[in-house]
Amino acid sequence: MKFRIVLCAVLLLSGCSALKFDDSYQSVGHDSRVQFIVLHYTSSDLPRSLYLLTGKDVSSHYLIAEQPATVYRLMDENRRAWHAGDSQWNGRTWLNSSSIGIEMVNKGYTDTPEGREWQPWSEKQVEALVLLLKDIMQRHGLTADSVVGHSDIAPQRKVDPGPAFPWERLAQEGLIHWPEPQTVAIHLQTFNQQLPAISWFQQQLAQVGYAVPVHGELDSATRNVIAAFQMKYRPDLYDGEPDAQTAAMLLALTTQMSRQL
């Protein structure tokens, strides 16, 4: 009796291993699991970054070192990395499942008696990032709407990659949208006369992709989202104030994004 049970188990397993599929028909209604690429800084040096990102608590698909600008591939892109956490962009939440994480070795900031000092970025490191982004975006069919910072998808708790990060360089490479300076200048003339309501700022930020309250009140959550937007597009001043220049940049950006849909 025992022999029969073992034999049946063997036959069952062998049957499973012989399973074959008919690939004659292929669906065309699908796209890549990857919808976003999220950029981070590590807040630590290379050895510490490698230690943390190869452990059990946090992970990333790629790590770009500073000197030399080496790109470490830490895991397969088809696997879900633990880099985004509680996050939201364009209505999607918990972006680990729909994104590729790129960590870059950079200490971020140091608080000094004179104020917060941000570490500048290595040109070689940024060049490596540009090449990596172009490769990933081409393979997954991603557009300029897809590349975001950790501070974009989690503005209530994150500031990386920070105001020193060269977002405009990525825009010059066609990797992200950027408000056109001439359009900003035109809108600025209008908004210098009268600022829009807070609800307008909230609606525009939501149109860009941010998770923001839309209740018409300038609360701390709204200020944090405005600051995240400013940190990306106006890094010289990111105080979270809904001023005329921020309004002009927002309208220029959302108009541009609408044209390219």
What the chain holds in terms of domains, given with CATH numbers, is: 36-172 (3.40.80.10), 181-259 (1.10.101.10)
The answer, yes or no, to whether residue 211 has pLDDT greater than 90, is yes
- Cβ atoms of 41 and 51 within 8 Å: the answer is no
**What's the confidence (pLDDT) of residue 93?**
97
Q: What is the CA radius of gyration of the chain?
A: 23
Site of tokens 């059990």: 56
Whether the predicted pLDDT of 4 surpasses 60 = no
| Helix residue spans in 145-180 (DSSP H) | 150-153, 167-172
Active site residues: 103
List helix spans (H) across the chain: 2-17, 46-53, 123-140, 150-153, 167-172, 181-193, 198-208, 220-233, 244-259
What is the distance between the alpha carbons of residues 60 and 73, in angstroms, rounded to a whole number? 9
pLDDT at position 239 is: 97
Residue 32 pLDDT exceeds 50: yes
| Angle at the Cα of 135 from the Cα atoms of 158 and 208, rounded to 5 degrees | 40
% of the chain beyond a pLDDT of 90: 89
The pLDDT score that the predictor gives to residue 259 is 80
Does the pLDDT at position 137 exceed 50? yes
Specify the pLDDT at position 7: 45
* 147 contacts 165 by C-beta, under 8 angstroms: no
pLDDT above 50 for 236 = yes
Residue with tokens 């106006």: 234
Helix (H, G, I), strand (E, B) or coil at 41: strand
Q: What is the mean pLDDT of the chain?
A: 93
Please give the pLDDT value at position 3. 45
pTM of the model as a whole: 0.90
**Alpha carbons 162 and 151: distance in angstroms, whole number:** 8
Higher pLDDT, 7 or 25: 25
